Structure 1
């Protein structure tokens, strides 16, 4: 009876928020996106409840065009196959060069096909159990332990739900430590890659680092044996030749830990919500939502969002939240740096009023009001001298 969800407990409340649809499982991309905007209560609640934000956004009339094109997916799969060909021979070459370690003999384990003849849920549990066994043997230093693990399956608990995560490769016996290997198909030109793409890859790799550290700790090993330096493999210049580099994900790990800890204490965020609040789409027999759009929009607006322009590349509800911020004239539209510098000034109109003196600062706004008025004075002086 202890496993039952009782009315009033956080798990029951999250189920009520989600409504009649089953919880959507978290993948590494979704978990990584949490680190992109850790201060958004709306996202924390929806992800904690396992809500399908894409379906909600589409029903609200604000679909987000996420997802890779078929061409990009095909290119990515072809590049990953090249890196992993012949038992990851090309990857091993790069690891030897990058880490300057003599990896003479290699034991390669392909975990991807474990449990393939069972249903998806059973197969996931079998793959995860096999991964646990392989990682445990490696950490214990057994002679038959592997060096490269292709598509192992890790697990991470997110707000009471288990998310299964599949890194591209886990490498071991590199200085006695585990390294997450992330294979991406965006190009590195003259040693430089698109910063936003690298940042997204770092956030995703940090999820795998966190999951593998949790597994080691669960098995009784030192979690810090998982390196915070992940191996990022990308095509070099305009050829398809892979090149590897190390990316330090300590900052992404710190943000991710804070956000996941926040999701495990969602009861604090739910405390101020109306008891009858739900994001239920009320799908009909054909699976299509039947809930009135205005009613759902009102329910979503009862939660606090922290919109930023970066949300446009990470969150399914980005267009809805941007429209909401525009209607409110929120300073969030100006970007996180401007919003943070404005402190407690929530709207553009409020900032302009403080700047031109037509609005008196509230308690705690005296300093930002002085700075805004100085900026306005300098602006007028500059315009007057033109």
Structure 2
């Protein structure tokens, strides 16, 4: 059976769930999870699947976060984006030129050319938007080009995923920068590390899509004798625009996403060669969520759970913020050291369960050869912990000391 037919069978009668920048970014957070690789390649509705088997998870952005993000983006774009232009000029080191000069061209590809006020049409022709984006992706040797809401396409698992970054900056020398506007704050120069990491991976998705799109479309310059823009000119330095401290004043920061790009390339290669994972699965495996007259899936939850058990999962605590099936996988991984996080899994290499780790720490289990080093560290840690507890129970000088 062809790979695409296998994936269609795994998904069942439901429509394919489309990737977006967030779901593609999530692939890099846990590159060793075969369960997610297969389900995402097939386009399975993981949210519906988790609810039907009794492990529904509150997943995705809250309505409050969406409203806050939209309000901040509107604030950044006020007054024709004057503040944003100054921020980008300072962050990327380009000159805006004197007031009123034609040094900056702003193109909004998310708005309909026939409508006033920048309101996007309800139904958009994706092919037309892609063509408009390609037309806009050309440097101007006389100034900066800002392209708002371009539409990019990135092949993922045999399908084109359409992506919309907030902004692209095109410099006169042909270098592109991706700009993402985020609503999480930077307080005293520090932001939430997890949110910054997620934003960096998402921006890397746009960088990769833009590089591949430029390569595929062979963007032709408008200026005679100017060379074709090569993919390598899409900079790995992206710009995150966030609120400064507790105000709505924007702050721009450059972030290097080379490491994230390597992870994305690896994961997309795995999806492109999904055949190796499918070869180890039963030919009739399916996660069909076809609904009955009452709207509920007709397939028994036990059959779906049995199917999930055939797909190797690699649960880590990070999964709770990136995958709809995280609660099911956490339940499955209960009692295993891997469920405690990547650092614990690495420190306790060769020790698979918490019970085994405790037995080694207390000296009630003899370590295998490949566990000797980790077992020694566990025994030392257990001894130090016991001594610390004993010291706390009996402070120097007695109760009055």
TM > 0.5 between the two?
yes
Once the 2 structures are TM-superposed, how far is the Cα of residue 380 of structure 1 from its aligned partner? 5.1
* CA–CA distance in structure 2, aligned partners of residues 174 and 203 of structure 1: 27
Once the 2 structures are TM-superposed, how far is the Cα of residue 142 of structure 1 from its aligned partner? 7.1
Once the 2 structures are TM-superposed, how far is the Cα of residue 306 of structure 1 from its aligned partner? 0.9
Match of 2:345 in 1: 339
Is residue 247 of structure 1 aligned with residue 240 of structure 2?
A: no
**1:21–1:171 distance in 2 versus 1, CA, 3 Å:** same
* CA–CA distance in structure 1, aligned partners of residues 351 and 161 of structure 2: 38
Once the 2 structures are TM-superposed, how far is the Cα of residue 211 of structure 1 from its aligned partner? 0.5
Which residue among 352, 361, 382 is the counterpart of 2:358? 352
* CA–CA distance in structure 2, aligned partners of residues 281 and 344 of structure 1: 38
Match of 1:3 in 2: none
**1:49–1:114 distance in 2 versus 1, CA, 3 Å:** farther
Q: Secondary structure at the match of 1:107?
A: strand
Which residue among 29, 34, 47 is the counterpart of 1:41? 34
Q: Is the 8 A contact 1:101 1:174 kept in 2?
A: no
Mapping 1:1-386, distance limit 5 Å = 7=1, 9-104=2-97, 105-114=103-112, 119-120=123-124, 123-135=125-137, 137-138=138-139, 147-173=145-171, 176-220=174-218, 221-285=229-293, 287-326=295-334, 329-362=335-368, 364-379=370-385
* CA–CA distance in structure 2, aligned partners of residues 101 and 282 of structure 1: 55
Q: Is the 8 A contact 2:240 2:253 kept in 1?
A: yes
Q: Secondary structure at the match of 2:169?
A: strand
* CA–CA distance in structure 1, aligned partners of residues 83 and 293 of structure 2: 50
Once the 2 structures are TM-superposed, how far is the Cα of residue 117 of structure 1 from its aligned partner? 6.0
Deviations 1:315-343 (A, max 9, x none): 111111111112xx111221110012211
Deviations 1:16-59 (A, max 9, x none): 21111121110101111111111111111111111111111111
Once the 2 structures are TM-superposed, how far is the Cα of residue 147 of structure 1 from its aligned partner? 0.2
**1:317–1:271 distance in 2 versus 1, CA, 3 Å:** same
* CA–CA distance in structure 2, aligned partners of residues 194 and 378 of structure 1: 33
Unpaired segments ≥5 residues, structure 1: 1-6
Once the 2 structures are TM-superposed, how far is the Cα of residue 287 of structure 1 from its aligned partner? 4.4
Q: Is the 8 A contact 2:141 2:173 kept in 1?
A: no
Match of 1:4 in 2: none
Q: Is the 8 A contact 1:103 1:174 kept in 2?
A: no
Greater alpha carbon shift after TM alignment, 149-158 vs 286-295 = 286-295
Greater alpha carbon shift after TM alignment, 61-70 vs 92-101 = 61-70
State the TM-score, normalizing by the size of structure 2: 0.85
Greater alpha carbon shift after TM alignment, 270-279 vs 80-89 = 80-89
Once the 2 structures are TM-superposed, how far is the Cα of residue 71 of structure 1 from its aligned partner? 2.9
Question: Highest CA radius of gyration, 1 or 2?
Answer: 2
Once the 2 structures are TM-superposed, how far is the Cα of residue 119 of structure 1 from its aligned partner? 4.6
Q: Is the 8 A contact 2:144 2:172 kept in 1?
A: no
Q: Is the 8 A contact 2:141 2:172 kept in 1?
A: no
Number of positions where the alignment pairs a residue of Structure 1 with one of Structure 2: 371
* CA–CA distance in structure 2, aligned partners of residues 248 and 132 of structure 1: 25
Q: Is the 8 A contact 2:87 2:251 kept in 1?
A: yes
Q: Secondary structure at the match of 2:203?
A: helix
Deviations 1:94-121 (A, max 9, x none): 111222211331111111135966855x
**1:94–1:319 distance in 2 versus 1, CA, 3 Å:** same
**1:174–1:204 distance in 2 versus 1, CA, 3 Å:** farther
Unpaired segments ≥5 residues, structure 2: 98-102, 114-119, 219-228, 395-401
